[in-house]
Amino acid sequence: MKRKTLVTKYSIVTIVSIIISVYLPSTAVLWTNSRWIVDEKGQRVKLACVNWESHLELVVAEGLNKQPIDVISNKIKDMGFNCVRLTWPLELATNHSLASLTVTQSYENAGLCTSIPDLQANNPSILHLSLLSAFKAVVASLGKNKIRVILDNHVSKPGWCCSKSDGNGFFGDQYFNPQDWINGLTKMATLFLDNPYVVGMSLRNELRGPRQNTKDWYRYMQRGVEAVHEANPNILVILSGLTFDTDLSFLKTQPLKLSFTGKLVYEVHQYWFSTGSLWEDVNANQACGIMKNKLIKKAGFLLDQGFPLFVSEWGTDMKGTSLSENKYLNCFLTWVAEYDLDWSLWTLVGSYAFTNGVVGMDERYGLLNSNWTGVRNNTFLQRISVIQSPRQGPSAILAENRKIIYHPLTGKCILRKSIMGVNLGNCSESNHWSYTPQKTLIIEYSYFCLKAQGMNRPARLSIICPGTGTIWAPISDSELHLAVTLSDNTTACLDVDSGNNLITTTCKCLSKDNGCDPGSQWFTLVDAYKYY
Ligand SMILES: *[C@@H]1O[C@H](CO)[C@@H](O)[C@H](O)[C@H]1NC(C)=O
Ligand SMILES: *[C@@H]1O[C@H](CO)[C@@H](O)[C@H](O)[C@H]1NC(C)=O
Ligand SMILES: *[C@@H]1O[C@H](CO)[C@@H](O)[C@H](O)[C@H]1NC(C)=O
């Protein structure tokens, strides 16, 4: 009898939860579970976001003079992103005379009368909306396309960010009154209380400048977080570190005390220039080792403390012609892939309508081209696709030693292509490999392992594992070269030739030569958990 009641209860719960899961948008409230961001069912939600700027002088989301909002939202989805970090200036929430200007008025005030017809052609419905309503229209369009939104308070005064002396850098700066900030955050959090697609708020971008100090960081962040949580308990609160959001190390010994749990996320930024001239000064492998160690020391340790880490800004010039940026990007991608982090690319924007007195400025870091008609560089998109999908998470079971072998330069992974052949292919179709104690790389559920046949010859599979040419070890300061001893006792590294074939060649750029780019020889073994 008792048992029956239990069963009935269980069935009702099951039915209710099925109904909930069918009718709730897939983007209902997010939580944190240790270092993971999860949905209400406890399943991992990996944030693969792109930044979209709406904090510049016009206080209108960029691109609305180039394409209809829905076209842009759709394109974001098409490019494989599930989320947007949408920037906004504090004054949009605190300065009524600014927020109530119409979009047309804002364009006119900036002397952009000639651009209004473009705006009219692409987004006639927003022309006469207030700046705040236009911002809401962008959020609504993203939601309609099932794209999650993180509201990022980027600056106080609308305009280009960020310098140490722009008056927007730290609590107490000319335009950064802590109480105004708390009021603005509260207003924004309240405004989107009922929008299930607004999943988080970045409380303030890139704290910096001569006033920065940890005492005020704890004091005001705690107040800001509590105010946001009280106004809107549904959203994740995301906190930036000091020194342009490159340093959260102070949290190692002194955690932030809050009245609630399950909502706190930290964010960190990493560009090639975030480490000064590191990428010019030392060998690429050394630079990569240093960058990754620094990231762990300054922010990555938070994962072990049980917080998600959102790499909310990173990116490069899409042309890919700078050696330093190329080396940085390969190294960075392996870091994000290895830890399966949440992230947001800088930036969606192909060009800016108006900033710093310039009309139509091209954005070389922009995913879209300057006309917003298409993707600037499809190769780049291919390279980052591997970090757009989750491979780890709290509900995943680590099938011991289940990995993909990722090559960041191409964004591809090692696949079996014939009985004994291997090549590079889409990581989502990758075979899974285990890295054995004997240092062989064996394809899951098989006897086949990766084998080097000789210098400058294609890699292939072997069934003699371990055997000659099948023992692989990560070497160099980056640990990204996969080295193997050949039958003549020479050492070779796994490499990819210009035709995208997997071969073994002389290990290159291992030390010294700062101008050398080892990219083609960089691979990393990424844990790929199994979901049941
Ligand atoms: C509010 O916005 C208006 C319009 O942009 C601007 O002229 C004014 O200086 C702003 N007020 C404050 C207090 O920043
Ligand atoms: C795209 O980026 C790749 C490097 O990722 C570079 O080799 C290529 O030239 C770039 N293409 C364009 C059109 O800029
Ligand atoms: C952008 O549009 C302008 C004017 O229509 C055109 O001249 C230019 O070729 C376009 N550029 C791209 C990258 O599509």
pLDDT in tens, 132-152: 999 999 999 999 999 999 999
Q: For residue 18, what are the contacts with CB-CB under 8 A and spacing of at least 6?
A: none
Position in ligand 3 atom list of the atom nearest CA 374: 14
Does the structure show a pLDDT above 90 at 7? Answer: no
Cα separation of the two ends of the chain: 33
- 215-227 tens-digit pLDDT: 999 999 999 999 9
- Parse the chain into domains and list their residue ranges: 40-276+309-326+342-387, 396-531
Does the structure show a pLDDT above 70 at 349? Answer: yes
Position in ligand 3 atom list of the atom nearest CA 373: 14
Band the pLDDT of 23: cuts 50, 70, 90. very low
Provide the 8-state DSSP code for 82: -
**Element spanning 137, H or E:** helix 131-144
Centroid of ligand 1 to alpha carbon of 95 (angstroms): 6
Band the pLDDT of 270: cuts 50, 70, 90. very high
Better pLDDT: 13 or 124: 124
Does the structure show a pLDDT above 50 at 500? Answer: yes
- The C-alpha atoms of residue 374 and residue 380 are separated, in whole angstroms, by 13
Q: How many CB atoms lie within 10 A of CB 99?
A: 17
Averaged pLDDT for residues 104-124: 97
So what's the pLDDT on residue 21? 44
Best CA proximity match to 440, nearest among 450, 453, 454: 450
Q: What are phi and psi of 525, to 5 degrees?
A: -90, 115
So what's the pLDDT on residue 532? 52
- The C-alpha atoms of residue 528 and residue 312 are separated, in whole angstroms, by 23
From the CB of 8, is ligand 3 less than 6 Å away? no
48-52 and 342-345: which strand pairing?
Answer: parallel
Does the structure show a pLDDT above 70 at 27? Answer: no
Does the structure show a pLDDT above 60 at 10? Answer: no
Band the pLDDT of 2: cuts 50, 70, 90. very low
- CATH 3.40.50.1980 given to domain 40-276+309-326+342-387: no
Centroid of ligand 2 to alpha carbon of 406 (angstroms): 19
What sign has the CA pseudo-torsion 396, 399, 400, 402?
Answer: negative
Q: How many helices (H) and strands (E) does the chain have?
A: 15, 26
Q: Which CATH number is associated with domain 396-531?
A: 2.80.10.50
- 384-413 tens-digit pLDDT: 999 999 999 987 776 668 999 999 999 999
Position in ligand 3 atom list of the atom nearest CA 369: 13
So what's the pLDDT on residue 530? 73
Please report, rounded to a whole number, the percentage of residues in the chain having pLDDT higher than 70. 94
Which ligand lies nearest the alpha carbon of 89? 1
Which ligand lies nearest the alpha carbon of 158? 1
From the CB of 374, is ligand 3 less than 6 Å away? no
Centroid of ligand 3 to alpha carbon of 355 (angstroms): 20
Does the structure show a pLDDT above 90 at 475? Answer: yes
Contact 342, 47 (CB under 8 A): yes
Best residue among 321, 324, 377, 498 to mutate for probing ligand 2, ranked by most atoms within 8 Å of CB: 377
- 361-392 tens-digit pLDDT: 999 999 999 999 999 999 999 999 999 999 99
Contact 475, 483 (CB under 8 A): yes
Contact 311, 344 (CB under 8 A): yes
What is 83-102 written as a DSSP string? EEEEEEETHHHH-HHHHTSB
Centroid of ligand 1 to alpha carbon of 201 (angstroms): 24
Average pLDDT, the chain: 94
- The C-alpha atoms of residue 246 and residue 465 are separated, in whole angstroms, by 44
Q: Tell me, yes or no, if the pTM score tops 0.75.
A: yes
Provide the 8-state DSSP code for 372: S
Centroid of ligand 2 to alpha carbon of 368 (angstroms): 13
Band the pLDDT of 22: cuts 50, 70, 90. very low
Which ligand lies nearest the alpha carbon of 373? 3
Does the structure show a pLDDT above 80 at 212? Answer: yes
- For ligand 3, atom 6, the nearest C-alpha belongs to 371
- The C-alpha atoms of residue 90 and residue 55 are separated, in whole angstroms, by 9
Best residue among 95, 100, 176, 354 to mutate for probing ligand 1, ranked by most atoms within 8 Å of CB: 95
Does the structure show a pLDDT above 60 at 65? Answer: yes
Site residues for ligand 1, CB cut-off 6 Å: 91, 95, 97-98
Centroid of ligand 2 to alpha carbon of 317 (angstroms): 9
Please report, rounded to a whole number, the percentage of residues in the chain having pLDDT higher than 90. 92
So what's the pLDDT on residue 205? 98
From the CB of 356, is ligand 3 less than 6 Å away? no
- 175-197 tens-digit pLDDT: 999 999 999 999 999 999 999 99
Q: Residues 121-127: contacts with CB within 8 Å, 24+ apart?
A: 122/64, 122/65, 122/66, 122/67, 122/68, 123/64, 123/65, 123/68, 123/69, 126/60, 126/64, 126/69, 127/102, 127/103
